[in-house]
Amino acid sequence: MAEEKKRSDSRMRSFVLILLCLAHCCCLSDAILDPIDFLALQSIRKSLEDLPGSNFFASWDFTGDPCNFAGVLCDSDRVVALNLGDPRAGSPGLVGRINPAIGKLSALTEFTIVPGRVFGALPQTLFQLKNLRFLAISRNFISGTLPANLGEIRSLRTLDLSFNQLTGEIPRSIGTITELSNVILCHNHLTGTVPMFPYRSLNHLDLKHNNLTGHLIPDSLPPSLQYLSLSWNRLNGPVFRLLSRLNQLNYLDLSLNQFTGTIPMRIFSFPIVNLQLQRNLFTGPVLPAAQVAIPTVDLSYNRLSGPISPMFSTVQNLYLNNNHFTGEVPNSLVDRLLAANIQTLYLQHNFLTGIEINPTAEIPLSSSLCLQYNCMVPPIQTLCPEKAGNQKTRPTEQCGEWRG
């Protein structure tokens, strides 16, 4: 039986080769596409169509050379890159499913699909693409769970399946890929915990807008990480030890979770351009050791307490509202605000007791200040966000324990 199957496969390969020779005018000097790749492309084409307004597949005429098809790149007789759909912004994209025959393109190093309406589950055959380095299928309607065998693609460096409808847990095996550099799974419906990514190759991790839960293990992410976004999940527990290790971060967004404990002061010396820790359950004082060079710092809607540090006077957009900060606003913040060096200074809904600012001072048009609902009467009237409410000052009974 096995011998008969071998003979059958051999006959099929010979038959396809004959067809390809005819299609290519039997020019012996031309490289002819491997028959397995040829048949795989045919199957992939049958499962996908152009959306109205797209003509991406117009060049996919199988009486010609598939290596000249739009989105197909060959090396000798093998397909090494498959980029499906018109890459121009605003193009209509494709509709249909990803055919399991994709796994037959064993030399493939890059596979992408432009935004469109491709639906259905990811083929389990993806793990057969042992040379695949770049997999990006974002802004489509891919559903189902992530294949548990994705971790077998050991050469994978970028995994982007963002803005789809994926469900289930992130396979632990993904974290075992030693070359993995970029993981972008945001805007899906993924559940479970964040897997461990111990290898120093990882520098970009974006899991925002999912349904992830649980704690983050202190050594679950490598210090090589430069971009970390976990916002809009239901993650909880302390992150002090984890964040203290990630000193290469240039972007951090942990907003809209349930993280607890204190914020490590070391984080304010990291090369971060945007620090988003709002809407969590962080507690304790925030006293950076040196002037903060981060342009945007958002610590709003937490349970932070103690005085406002003058070290924040070098921040351009500072959101400290809706916390338990006490004492007076540092003069250095006021000076830089009036000099238009601070664009946003939101201090509303705290327990602040004073600010030294001339009631006739004019806030620069490029700057915003909100002092509403503190333990003081604002000496200057400014425009505040609508959600700050109409009350200018906290009731006296709320301020007694916060004074002194």
pLDDT in tens, the chain (404 residues): 445 544 545 554 554 444 444 444 433 335 699 999 999 999 999 999 999 999 999 999 999 999 999 999 999 999 999 999 999 988 999 999 999 999 999 999 999 999 999 999 999 999 999 999 999 999 999 999 999 999 999 999 999 999 999 999 999 999 999 999 999 999 999 999 999 999 999 999 999 999 999 999 999 999 999 999 999 999 999 999 999 999 999 999 999 999 999 999 999 999 999 999 999 999 999 999 999 999 999 999 999 999 999 999 999 999 999 999 999 999 999 999 999 999 999 999 999 999 999 999 999 999 999 999 999 999 999 999 999 999 999 999 999 765 54
pLDDT at position 24 is 44
Do 56 and 65 touch, CB atoms closer than 8 A?
no
Residues 82, 84, 90, CA angle at the centre, nearest 5°? Answer: 145
Instruction: Give the number of other CB atoms < 10 A from CB of residue 391.
Output: 11
How far is Cα 36 from Cα 108, in angstroms, rounded to an integer?
13
DSSP assignment of 264-324 = PGGGGGS--SEEE--SSEEEE----SS----SEEE--SSEEEEEPPGGGGG-SEEE--SSE
pLDDT at position 90 is 87
Q: Is 285 exposed, middle or buried (0-12, 13-18, 19+ CB in 10 A)?
A: middle
Domain boundaries, the chain: 35-297, 298-403
pLDDT at position 393 is 96
pLDDT at position 20 is 46
Which residues lie below 8 Å from residue 15, measured CB to CB, with a gap of 6+?
A: none
Alpha carbon 47 to chain centroid, angstroms = 29
Alpha carbon 273 to chain centroid, angstroms = 16
pTM over 0.95: no
